Chains A and B, each alone.
Chain A
């Protein structure tokens, strides 16, 4: 039979244990992350210059190409940002198999009128503030971190592809087959996906988390780091002194499909 004293000691110990456990649960990382709102500005002028130079080198006149050739070219073009992203994030590329080819960044060409010149820019996950993919995910495998990055928990994902259907930007791709067979190199810092799950740009969260923990003030995803034209600007929207904040505050920037209300955090300048 437990005495009253023993019972009280047990109660106090349990309470203390629960309180300690709770205190340990609140990781400082979570608190830190809410200070950030990672965002990107794409300077379309510079991207266009980069792609135009690449096409010029190959003697290709994009405007003169028929539609199917334009599509094929854009599917396979790999400027430094795309190349670096593919390698750093273990993206299984299958240029000869467009049905199953995975990507995190795609190059899009756009123009306002038939006689205007083409503008080129990268399209990646727009890291929406109100992401449709998170809303529809049946297992909460897609979720938004406190710093605004939308991520996929591969241990929870069932591979239903509802997120892909709901995404307004086709920013997600699906591993229709084992990705390992299609990787040029493996980055051990990034989880290697299995077949049957979606993938998307997560602003190289593995890298920015690592750099942030090492005290780097302005961590950057690989695409931003390798861009030879400094066309991609990355930073914290919650910091009024960050370059991203300044551009968004002072320049005319647009967001893709803004009318849907998903509130993307990728801004396009000079589109």
Chain B
């Protein structure tokens, strides 16, 4: 029987961490306030690139949430009982990030006062409409799953874990569909986007959870079985390789369409614009660096695993960026088969407001986790597998 306990949460360190997350959250909300007062002109967006960091943040936070919930359900669904010690904390983090995701939608839309219309006027052909119901139901399922864990109701927890994993996959597939089903933009339409979203969700979920767990157990003076962390890091590494494979397959899939050659060349090889830099340095470079770290002996240390997780979490954010913005920055082929003007590539650089919004929301999710540690029994006394 695993004994979950609240943390004391009285140390200066605890309050310092909470204070930092709170300050960043307030900064993020201040940025949102500016966007509400002055309009979306405070962002780096333009008429040609109307989706940017904000939309990437929506995809990212939903992915991180779905990935965390899948990790939380490792014991319930896949019978990996040794990971039960992490299931509650992963679930709390998943709930925190889905709240962040819903808030990032609110930050991104231009007409917040009409937000309720998404629920009132359902459009069955809109992937966004499906998602509004998927996101809210996902939160409810995650919450009930967490409650069942608190109640130590074994059979219900197992059943809810299966439902939660299925829903997490569904939710993130829907998010991938927002971009993957758009057929009018050269770099968007791809059937690979949805499965790739699922892989990157688990990678980013693990990428955030691994350093978080290492720090949590270290700072609360709880023993943590390094083998468990190493197992999760290996899963993360293997999925990162799969993710790189998906990047290559998707890029080649797009590149082989002659009409896409200009767009794909800009996105991957034109270093005058930010897109190629983000693709090679953050997205691909981040993934490669993660694998490299995990292959070295240092990769097996707490620091190694934590830094590898953090880097791959940023790499996945880069993937969201390159999935959304280059396709918009490159002009659409308005007059197929003809040379046409105006024809110019729009670079997209996020403004500080957009950075603040996403950092603020992720900090808010971390703050929820920190407060959750203090008021709920989500952390085990020992982060080790008990001998039978």
- The chain A residues found within 8 Å of chain B, CB to CB, are 67-68, 70-71, 74-75, 98-102, 106, 108-114, 118, 123, 132, 134-141, 155-162, 164-170, 173-178, 194-197, 256-257, 259-260, 271
Contacts and interface: CB of A to CB of B under 8 A. Distances in A.
Contacts of A99: 45-47
Contacts of A113: 339
Interface in B171-206: 178, 182-185
B316 to A, nearest CB: 21
B344 interface: yes
B121 A164 contact: no
Interface centre among A111, A156, A162 (most CB of B within 10 A): A162
Given A136-B128, A176-B39, A177-B38, A101 B47 contact: yes
Interface centre among B50, B182, B340 (most CB of A within 10 A): B50
A196 B338 contact: no
A110 B51 contact: no
A158 B40 CA distance: 13
A74 B342 contact: yes
A265 B340 CA distance: 21
Contact of A177 (B41, B47, B339): B41
Contacts of B118: 138-139, 158
Given A161-B50, A176-B39, A176-B41, A109 B340 contact: yes
Contacts of A271: 335
A259 B333 CA distance: 12
B125 A159 contact: no
Nearest to A106: B342
B336 A197 contact: no
Interface stretch (B84-92, B107-115, B225-233, B380-388): B107-115
A197 B50 CA distance: 11
Contact of B338 (A110, A141, A177, A178): A110
Interface in B33-74: 38-41, 45-48, 50-51
A74 B341 contact: yes
The 9 closest A-B pairs by CB, nearest first: A159-B110, A196-B110, A168-B184, A138-B128, A159-B111, A195-B39, A99-B46, A71-B342, A139-B117
B121 A156 contact: yes
A178 B128 contact: no
B132 A138 contact: yes
Nearest to B181: A136
20 contacts: A71-B342, A75-B342, A108-B340, A110-B339, A112-B337, A132-B184, A157-B114, A158-B110, A158-B115, A158-B117, A164-B50, A165-B182, A166-B182, A170-B47, A170-B332, A177-B38, A177-B41, A196-B39, A257-B336, A260-B184
